């Protein structure tokens, strides 16, 4: 008597034709070589038995823990065994997949092929299966084999993202502050660009995962050894959403984030940053900062600049406005206060004005001077 394949062991090789398990257990309908005919008129896909999939030991396979079992796609070749041995051969267990090098594209009208069809350029269905996508090419991901003749679309897009339409590397401008006289000194102005793509995968060291829609993960352990025996590591980590939003940790350890849409960061508690080098921020749109929305006392906005550095603010074409609705506006200047006004200087004080000068006062004007008041006392 056969039980779980212990006696009368019967294995199978077949092609997945359906993965839409009504029980959502990750089961697959498989057409088996030597057991099922390729004629769908005799055995339709819907009449094939469901096969359970063995999960790796990294998945618990219970209560939703571990990875989802529903990733093998139609058209994939699989190997397994029948739990009911040479009996009815209905209780199938899939142990693994069998990648290959397809000699032809699939035909949806025949068995042993993916029954899902591609659309032509006019959006009409064809008899060509969705999988395999290519023929005469290994089923191994192009990013893993480093296919230089047929480059993976993700890699092509990554290279293009750092280039202008004319092929030159995009230069991101930083703040370009105009130095005025001898009192205002600005930092050096430099443009910056996205680091060069360091992809240089060597088979079999680039470990790649890709989903149907184009979500990608790469864990690249590639290295090369030159003729002098010197080893060069090409280690990288790359993760991409199908929209193109991605992050990469390149060979040098640099992290590059590319967001094709908006970026939202919501933190329930503190957010701290420590940058040991320089920081450049370039914004094409507006920039707003709202501090102490809760109105809690002493939640201040503090900016401190260490010794031998300046705080420079430049408005190229607009106004610089500072408003305190109810509080004071305080300046404490440790040395000289220099002000250069290109137009008029207007000061409107609703209360009294008190000015104390410890030294002398010199007032120079090339025009007239007018002083008005109900009482004017000079040295009372």
Can you give the CATH number for the domain in which 206 is found? 3.10.450.190
Q: Is the pLDDT of residue 304 over 90?
A: yes
In a domain, 99, yes or no: yes
**pLDDT score for 239:** 98
Cβ neighbours for 109, distance < 8 A, ≥ 6 positions apart:
40, 127
Min mean pLDDT across 95-109, 152-166, 179-193, 198-212 is at: 179-193
- Please say which residue of 214, 233, 258 terminates a domain: 258
Residue 1 and residue 126 in one domain: yes
For residue 315, tell me if it sits in a domain: no
Note whether 130 and 18 are same-domain residues: yes
pLDDT above 70 (res 52): yes
Q: Long-range CB contacts (< 8 A, 24+ apart) of 68-72? A: 68/26, 69/25, 69/26, 70/19, 70/21, 70/24, 70/26, 71/211, 72/16, 72/19, 72/28, 72/97
Q: Say what the pLDDT of residue 240 is.
A: 97
Residues 131 and 168 placed together within one structural domain of the fold: no
**Is there a single domain that holds both residue 114 and residue 196?**
no
- Measured from the Cβ of residue 319, the count of other Cβ atoms closer than 10 Å reads 5
The total of structural domains in the chain comes to: 2
Considering the chain, what is the average pLDDT of its residues? 91
C-alpha–C-alpha distance, residues 209 and 228, integer Å: 34
Percent of the chain with pLDDT over 70: 96
**Pair (126, 29) in one structural domain:** yes
- Report residue 139's pLDDT band, with 50, 70 and 90 as the boundaries: very high
Q: Give the confidence band of 14 by pLDDT, cuts at 50, 70, 90.
A: very high
304 inside domain:
no
* Beta bridge partner(s), residue 216: 210, 240
> Does one domain contain both 86 and 105?
yes
Q: Is residue 293 part of a domain?
A: no
Question: Do 206 and 82 share a structural domain?
Answer: no
pLDDT given at position 178 = 75
pLDDT of 35 above 80: yes
Among the listed residues 86, 101, 92, 105, the one whose alpha carbon sits nearest the alpha carbon of residue 18? 92
| pLDDT of 4 strictly over 60 | no
Confirm whether 22 is domain-assigned: yes
pLDDT at 87: 75
Tell me the average pLDDT across 122-135. Answer: 94
Rounded mean pLDDT, 51-73: 90
| Residue 58: per-residue pLDDT | 87
Q: Are residues 60 and 169 in the same domain?
A: no
Task: Give the mean pLDDT of 296-321.
Answer: 91
Helix, strand or coil, per DSSP, at residue 64: coil
Same domain, 165 and 219: yes
Q: For residue 48, which phi and psi values (nearest 5 degrees)? A: -75, 150
pLDDT band at 288 (very low <50, low <70, confident <90, very high): very high
166-174: long-range contacts at Cβ-Cβ below 8 A with a sequence spacing of 24 or more?
A: 169/193, 169/194, 170/194, 172/280, 172/282, 173/282, 174/280, 174/282
C-alpha distances in angstroms, 345 versus 60, 309, 336, 341, 366? Answer: 75, 29, 19, 7, 15
Name the more confident of 246 and 311: 246
Candidate from 103-117, 141-155, 182-196, 322-336 with smallest mean pLDDT: 182-196
| 128 and 244 both lie in a single domain | no
The answer, yes or no, to whether residue 46 has pLDDT greater than 60, is: yes
120 falls in which pLDDT band (50, 70, 90)?
A: very high
Residue 207's domain spans which residues? 142-258
Residue 110: name the closest of 45, 193, 24, 22 by CA: 45
- Residue 267 placed within a domain: no
User: Considering the domain boundaries, does residue 179 fall inside one?
Assistant: yes
Say if residue 34's pLDDT is above 60.
yes
Residue 218 forms beta bridges with which residues?
Answer: 208, 238
Domain termination site, one of 208, 238, 258: 258
The domain that holds 128 is classified in CATH as 2.40.50.260
Looking at 102, 122, 137, the residue that finishes a domain is 137
Same domain, yes or no, for 133 and 22? yes
Q: Decide if pLDDT at 329 tops 60.
A: yes
Instruction: Give the confidence band of 177 by pLDDT, cuts at 50, 70, 90.
Output: confident
249-253 mean pLDDT: 96
Q: Is 82 found in the same domain as 159? A: no
Which range is least confidently modeled, 85-99, 175-189, 221-235? 175-189
**Mean predicted confidence (pLDDT) in 214-237:** 97
Mean local confidence (pLDDT), 308-333: 90
**Position 95 in a domain:** yes
What are the tokens at 61?
A: 């396979």
């Amino acid at each position: 008597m056969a039980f779980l394949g212990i006696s009368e062991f019967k294995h199978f090789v077949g092609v997945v034709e359906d993965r839409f398990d009504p029980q959502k257990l990750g089961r697959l309908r498989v057409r088996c070589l030597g057991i099922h005919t390729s004629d769908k008129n005799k055995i339709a896909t819907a009449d094939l038995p469901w096969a359970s999939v063995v999960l790796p030991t990294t998945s618990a396979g219970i209560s939703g823990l571990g990875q989802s079992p529903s990733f093998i796609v139609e058209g994939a070749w699989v190997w397994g065994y029948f739990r009911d041995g040479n009996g009815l051969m209905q209780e199938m267990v899939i142990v693994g997949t069998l990648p290959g090098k397809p000699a032809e594209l699939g035909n949806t009208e025949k068995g042993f092929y993916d029954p899902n069809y591609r659309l032509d350029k006019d959006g009409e269905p064809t008899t060509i299966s969705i999988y395999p996508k290519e023929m005469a090419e290994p089923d191994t991901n192009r990013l893993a084999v480093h296919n230089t003749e047929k480059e993976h679309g993700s890699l092509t897009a990554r290279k293009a993202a750092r280039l202008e339409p004319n092929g030159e590397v995009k230069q991101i401008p930083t703040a370009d502050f105009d130095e005025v006289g001898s009192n205002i000194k600005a930092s050096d102005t430099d443009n910056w660009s996205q680091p060069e793509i360091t992809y240089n995968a060597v088979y079999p060291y680039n470990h790649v995962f890709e989903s149907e829609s184009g979500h990608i993960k790469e864990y690249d352990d590639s290295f090369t050894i030159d003729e002098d025996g010197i080893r060069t590591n090409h280690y990288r980590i790359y993760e991409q959403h199908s929209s193109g939003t991605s992050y990469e940790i390149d060979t040098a350890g640099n992290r590059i984030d590319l967001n094709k849409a908006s970026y939202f960061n919501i933190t329930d508690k503190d957010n701290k940053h420590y940058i040991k080098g320089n920081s450049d921020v370039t914004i094409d749109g507006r920039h707003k900062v709202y501090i102490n929305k809760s109105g809690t006392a002493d939640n201040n906005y503090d900016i401190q600049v260490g010794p031998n550095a300046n705080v420079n603010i430049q408005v190229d074409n607009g106004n610089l406005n500072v408003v305190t609705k109810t509080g004071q506006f305080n300046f404490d200047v440790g040395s000289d206060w220099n002000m250069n006004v290109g137009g008029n200087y207007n000061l409107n004080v609703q209360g009294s004005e008190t000015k104390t000068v410890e030294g002398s006062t010199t007032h120079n004007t090339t025009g007239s001077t007018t002083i008005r008041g109900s009482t004017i006392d000079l040295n009372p």
